[in-house]
Amino acid sequence: MLVPIPVVCFVGTLVTDIAYWYTANMQWANFSAWLLSVGSIVSGLAVVAGLIDFFGDRGIRRLRPAWIHAGGNAVALVLSIINIFVHSRDAYTSVVPTGLILSALVVLILLVTGWNGAALVHRYGVGVQSGERA
């Protein structure tokens, strides 16, 4: 239940970075910094829950999508934390080009990890009680 919050924050960061790139209105860069901060904080909570699932069940660790999901999300979180520092710069250099590139990379990684996370639930039944799986 924690995962949608950072996903929305990181996608929102890309949107606000693009808005800043087009308008040069500093408030868009501020929005990006806030979204990155909230997304990273909630990601930290999601990491704890994810690690409990990952290390708590040997069957999950045997699944390739679980490794892609966990590794990709770790990379996305590290890039987002780096992006917080990039967005702490002044004006134009806080977004263009490094912040924008990092935001786009994080969203691309989240697409891959989200696909693998969905596969874990829908294909392998991870986190689904046996009677609930269709």
Rounded to two decimals, the pTM is 0.93
Residue-range definition of the domain harbouring residue 28 = 4-122
- For residue 49, being part of any structural domain is answered with yes
Is 129 inside a domain boundary? no
Asked whether residue 128 is assigned to any structural domain, the reply reads no
With a cut of 90, say whether residue 3 has pLDDT above it: yes
Residue 42 forms part of a structural domain: yes
pLDDT of residue 104: 98
Q: How confident is the model at residue 132 (pLDDT cuts 50, 70, 90)?
A: low
99-120 residue pLDDT tens? 999 999 999 999 999 999 999 9
Whole-number pLDDT of residue 130: 72
Supply the mean pLDDT for the chain: 94
Q: What is the DSSP string of the chain?
A: --THHHHHHHHHHHHHHHHHHHH--HHHHHHHHHHHHHHHHHHHHHHHHHHHHHHH-HHHHT-HHHHHHHHHHHHHHHHHHHHHHHHTS-GGGGTTTHHHHHHHHHHHHHHHHHHHHHHHHHTT-TT--TTT--
* pLDDT per position as a tens digit, 54-91: 999 999 999 999 999 999 999 999 999 999 999 999 87
Determine, yes or no, domain membership for 118: yes
pLDDT at res. 134: 52
Number of domains making up the chain = 1
